[in-house]
Structure 1
Amino acid sequence: MFSEELWLENEKKCAVVRKSKQGRKRQELLAVALGVKVGVKGGFLWPPLKLFAYSQISSLVRRAALTHNDNHFNYEKTHNFKVHTFRGPHWCEYCANFMWGLIAQGVRCSGLKSEGLYRVSGFTEHIEDVKMAFDRDGEKADISANVYPDINIITGALKLYFRDLPIPVITYDTYSKFIDAAKISNADERLEAVHEVLMLLPPAHYETLRYLMIHLKKVTMNEKDNFMNAENLGIVFGPTLMRPPEDSTLTTLHDMRYQKLIVQILIENEDVLF
C-alpha cells in the first residue's frame, strides 16, 4: 500500500508525463500543419509559428468536416439574395409551385448574376416610377437597392429609355448599312463592315453604344449564373437599339435576326470595334 503522500507524488509525476506527451503530440501536429520538422525531441516551435499553425489546423479541420458531412451541398453560384414582395402569385422554379402571401413571400437575387438579366421584365408601374424619377431629378434620382430591390426594374427602365428615344442609338441613317453588314457571310468581312458603319454614327450615339456594350460584355462574363450570352442579349437589345426608318411590321419582322446578330457582334467584339 502506498502512503497518501507517495500516492499524490506519483499522481503528479503521471500528470506531468501525460502533459509532456500531449505537448509533444501537439508540437508534432503543429509542425505537420506548417510542413516543418521539430529538430530536437521535446523542442518547441517559435510562438508566432504556433499561432499560424493553429489557424492552419482549424482550416484543415473545417474543410475535412465539410467534406465528410453528408448534409453538405456544394453551390457554385454566389448570390445576393434580398427579401422580395411579389405582386400576385409568383411561380417558383425550384419547388415548382406558386408562392403565396401578401408581403415578403420569398427572396430574389439581385446584380449581374441574376438569372435572366435584361430578359426578365420588372413590374411596369415601378419601371415608370424610375423613369419619372430621372425625368424629375436627373442624376440625383435614387435607384439604389433599398428603393428598388428588384434589379429587373432598373434594367427595364434602361430598355424603356432606349425604346423611347426619338432617334435610336443606331440611327435611322445607318440602319440599312448595319443590316447589309449583318448579311455578309464571311465573318472577317462582316466585322470590318460593321466597324466601318460604326464610324458613321454621331459621337453621342457612338459613345452611348460603346458604354452599353462594355456593360453587356460584363453581363456575358457571368453567363454561368445569369444564362445571358451575347446571342440572348442580342435578341433583347436588337429591336431596342435599332429600328427601321419606315414603320413597317413586315420589315421589322424580316430584320429581327439581323438586328440580333448586329448586337451580338458588337458585344462579342467590343474590345476590337470600339
Structure 2
Amino acid sequence: MENLKNIWKPELYRIQMEAPVPKRIICENCTYKPEFYGKEYHGIMGHKEATLLLEEEPNGAFLIRKGNENNDFYTLTWRFNDKIHHYKLYYDGTHYIKEKRYETIYDLVADGLITCHMELCAHHILDMINSRASYTESPYVTLNRRKINTLTKIHQPSLKTSPTFNRLESKTGPDIKGGKKPLLDLSPTIGDNPLLYKYHKSHSFKVHTFKGLNWCELCANFLWGFTAQGVKCEDCGFIAHSKCSERVPNHCVPDLKKLRGVFGIDLTTLLNAHSSTLPFVVKKCVNEIEARGMDSEGIYRVSGFADEIEALKMAFDRDGEAADLSVYSNINVVAGTLKLYLRLLPVPLITYEVHPKLVSAIQMKTTAVQVTMLRECLDSLPPAHFNCLQYMVQHLHRVSQQAELNKMSPYNLSTVFAPTLVATPPAITNLACEIRALQVLIEYCPQIYYGNK
C-alpha cells in the first residue's frame, strides 16, 4: 500500500490558498447603479482615476465602472501583482467569462484572482499537467484496480457477445503456433485490467462546478478555482481538468459510477454528501478495534495482509456502512484499512494551513504552553477535520492507556500516525516536530479537548 501514500498532489491547493482575497472598493455617492452590481459600482470613471483609487490598496482590491457614457459595457478594474488591470465585463442574467458563470461579481473576482495567481505562480505545474499525465499510473486506475477486475468478471459474458468484442476478434493474426489471435492495437495498454481494453466507450464529459475540494483523477493535481474547475463524465463520474480529459482514453465503464466509493475523496465533500459529521469508515474501524483489538500487541504498527486490506477497502466502497468487519479475524487488517483511508485523504486531517501553527506550538518550552497553543491551532481546522481528528485522537488516547498490553505508547502511536494525519510539505523529511505534536495531542487529550486539569 506504500505506493498510495503520495497519490494526491497538494501543490496547487497550497498555491490557491495564497491567492489574493477580493476587497470591494465602495462608492457611497453613485446615484445610479445597474441592478446586477452593488456598491462596488463607481459610475462613469476613466482608467486613470480608477488607477489612482486602487494604487494604495492591497492586491485583490477591485471596483466596477463605466468608461464613458457611450460605452455599452462595464469595466472591472482590480489590483493584482501590484499592478492595475482592466477587463470588460459580460452579463446575461449571470456574470460570465467564457463557459464559467457566477451569481455575483464578487464570485467572479475571487475566481479570477485565483486564475491569475495560478498562471503567475504555478505555470510550471500547469505546463507539466498538460504534458505528463499517465492514465495507467493515475489515481483512478490505482484506486479502482480491484473494482475494475471484479467488473471484468461480471461483464465477461456480455463482452464476448458485444459488438466491440466481436469487432476486435474479427481482426486476427497468426500466433506462435500458427493459429489466430485478436490484434488489440490500443494505446495505452492497461496491463492487468482487461475490462479497460475490451469495453470501449467514450466518456461523456461536461464542464462541472465541484463543491468542496476535488482532485483530477488523471494527473492527481488539485481542481483549482471556485467554479467550472474541470469536467465530469456523466456516465461513470470520472473527474479531470479540462485539458487532462482530452488525454483520457475511451474506457468509460458506467457501472463504476455506483462503485466509486469513499476512499480518496475530500473529507468535507464526503461528509456533506452523506449528511454526516464523521466518515463511517473511521467509526466502524474504530469500534471494531476497540471491541477486540485494544490488547493486540503492536496494534497499528503491525501490518495486516495487503490483499485482505484491499478486500475490506472494496467492501466499504461497495457496501458502505453495511460492510461486515467481523469476517476479518486479523484485527490488523481493520487497523490497516483505517490507516489507508486516512492516508488517501487528499488533504490530511491536520491541514497544510495548520501545519506551521502546529510546529510553532510544539516548540514552546513548557508542556502547559504547548497544550494551550495546540488547542488554539486546532480551532483553525475545518469542522469536518476538527471532528474527525478529535475522534481519532480520543481513540488513540484509549489505545495508549492499554500500552502495557499492546505496547503502543503515545510516542509509538504518534510515530505511526504522524505521516498520515499531518499535512507536511514534501521538503520536510524529518518529522520529529510532527511526531512530538501528535504525541502531546494523544497524551494530553483530556486537557486539549475537554480543558481538564
Which structure 2 residues correspond to residues 192-271 of structure 1 after superposition, within 5 A? 192-244=372-424, 246-248=425-427, 251=428, 253-254=429-430, 256-271=431-446
Greater share of strand:
2
For 1:129 and 1:183, locate their aligned partners in 2 and report how far apart those are by CA, in whole Å: 41
Mapped to 2, the partners of 1:161 and 1:176 lie a distance apart of 24
Q: Which ranges of structure 1 fall in alignment gaps of 5 or more residues?
A: 1-109
Task: Please report the RMSD computed on the Cα atoms of aligned residues, expressed in angstroms.
Answer: 1.1
Structure 1 or 2: more helix by fraction: 1
Amino acid paired to 1:138? G
Q: How many angstroms apart in 1 are the aligned matches of 2:302 and 2:368?
A: 33
Aligned residues: 158
Matched with 1:120 is 302
1:102-129 deviations in whole A, cap 9, x for unaligned? Answer: xxxxxxxx52101001000001111111
- Residue 165 of structure 1, CA deviation: 0.2
Identity %: 42
Aligned position for 2:328? 148
Counterpart in the other structure of 2:44: none
Matches within 5 A, 1:52-91: none
Distance (Å, rounded) in 1 between the aligned partners of 2:432 and 2:312: 30
Pairs within 5 Å for 1:173-188: 173-188=353-368
Mapped to 2, the partners of 1:247 and 1:234 lie a distance apart of 19
C-alpha distance in 1, partners of 2:334/2:304? Answer: 8
Q: What CA distance in whole angstroms lies between the structure 2 residues aligned with 1:218 and 1:265?
A: 14
In structure 2, give the amino acid aligned to 1:175: H
| 1:160 has 2:340 as partner | yes
Deviates more, 1:183-192 or 1:199-208: 183-192
Which letter maps to 1:177? K
TM normalised by structure 1 equals 0.56
Code of the aligned partner of 1:125? D
Deviation of 1:247 after TM superposition, in Å, equals 2.6
Which residue of 2 is the match for residue 131 of structure 1?
313
Corresponding residue of 1:106: none
CA distance in 2, matches of 1:168, 1:264: 17
Aligned residue runs from structure 1 range 14-53, under 5 A? none
Following TM superposition, by how much is the alpha carbon of 1:187 offset from its aligned partner in structure 2, in angstroms? 1.4
In 2: Cα distance, 1:239 partner to 1:191 partner: 21
Moved more, 183-192 or 113-122: 183-192
Task: Please list the CA deviations of residues 86-141 of structure 1 after superposition, one character each: whole Å capped at 9, or x if unmatched.
Answer: xxxxxxxxxxxxxxxxxxxxxxxx52101001000001111111111111111111
In structure 1, the partner of 2:112 is none
Amino acid at match of 1:247: P
Which residue matches 2:148? none
Secondary structure of 1:169's counterpart equals: coil
Counterpart-to-counterpart distance in 2, 1:202 and 1:115: 34
Structure possessing the higher radius of gyration over alpha carbons: 1
* TM-score calculated relative to the size of structure 2: 0.34
Measured in 1, the distance between the counterparts of 2:364 and 2:344 equals: 30
Query: Matches of 2:353 and 2:312 in 1, distance apart?
Result: 30
Amino acid at match of 1:268: E
SS at 2:353's partner residue? helix
Q: Report the Cα offset of residue 243 of structure 1.
A: 2.2
CA distance in 1, matches of 2:337, 2:343: 10
1:137-165 superposed Cα distances (whole Å, 9 cap, x missing partner): 11111111xx1000000000000111100
In the alignment, structure 2 segments of 5+ residues that lack a partner are 1-291
Letter in 2 for 1:168: P
**Which AA in structure 1 matches 2:397?**
K
Aligned partners of 2:440, 2:345: CA distance in 1, in Å? 23
Report SS of the residue matched to 1:148: coil
The 4+ residue runs of structure 1 with deviation greater than 3 A are none
Which residue type is aligned with residue 141 of structure 1? Answer: A
Q: What SS is found at the alignment partner of 1:173?
A: coil
Structure 2 Cα separation of the partners of residues 118 and 266 of structure 1? 17
